[in-house]
Amino acid sequence: MEEKEWMALVFGQNQIQAVVGMNRKTEKFGLALTESEAQQLVSLRRDNLREQQRVEFGEGILPKLIDTFCDSSYIDQNNYVQIIARLQEIFYLYKNEMLDEITDDELLEFMREQFDTVCFGDPDYLEETCLDIFAQAIRAGYRGYQETGGRGEFKKMDIVRRWDREVFLQALSDLM
């Protein structure tokens, strides 16, 4: 076996063990990954990185992603692997879309807050609406998220909700 293949195999095994090791925390939320599921997520990580043309050193984002989302009321054992896989894919996509201007922690904080509050556990809405709007703002030069660590940001740019509020308030005043 070539040295490069051997190193990739060892690195992959370390990744799998790190992900399975997260079970110590996630089990109290009724979530656990088998070694096979962890292997699947690590394999998807490699594919996502390749697709997004990204390089990641060290442990990678997967354990941190699991740690960030494991206590969400929208994740249960039945959808755990699928949701984490989808969130991982979205994470790498939006690291690129935001031109790496945002830290991993800021992006994870924003994702988690929107996932639970605005998206009600829908990763597609997270990707196609919340993160799309946020990425556009960051590409346009918005940096307010640096002060908040990514918390409370969507409220500032949620033009749909603002418009609905304005229409509601106008309709209410018309009734009075």
Query: And the tokens for 110?
Result: 């924003």
pLDDT band, very low/low/confident/very high, at 157 (cuts 50, 70, 90): low
Highest mean pLDDT out of 105-109, 146-150, 161-165 = 105-109
**Distance set, CA 171 to CA 19, 155, 162 (Å):** 52, 22, 14
The CB density around residue 126, as the number of other CB atoms within 10 Å, is 23
pLDDT band, very low/low/confident/very high, at 141 (cuts 50, 70, 90): confident
Q: Are 31 and 80 in contact (CB under 8 A)?
A: yes
Q: Taking the domains of the chain in order of start, what are their residue ranges?
A: 1-97, 101-176
Count of CA atoms in the C-beta half-sphere (13 A) of 106? 20
**DSSP H helical segments within the chain, as ranges?**
3-21, 23-26, 35-51, 62-69, 80-97, 104-117, 123-125, 132-139, 145-148, 153-157, 159-175
Q: How far is 42 from 48, CA to CA, in rounded Å?
A: 10
- Return mean pLDDT, the chain: 82
Q: How far is 42 from 133, CA to CA, in rounded Å?
A: 29
> What average pLDDT does range 108-136 have in this prediction?
93
pTM: 0.80
Highest mean pLDDT out of 41-50, 70-79, 147-156 = 70-79
- Whether 158 has a pLDDT exceeding 70, the answer reads no
Looking at residue 167, its pLDDT comes to 52
pLDDT band, very low/low/confident/very high, at 27 (cuts 50, 70, 90): very high
- Burial bucket for residue 87 (CB in 10 Å: 0-12, 13-18, 19+): buried
Vertex 142: Cα angle to 138 and 148 (nearest 5): 100
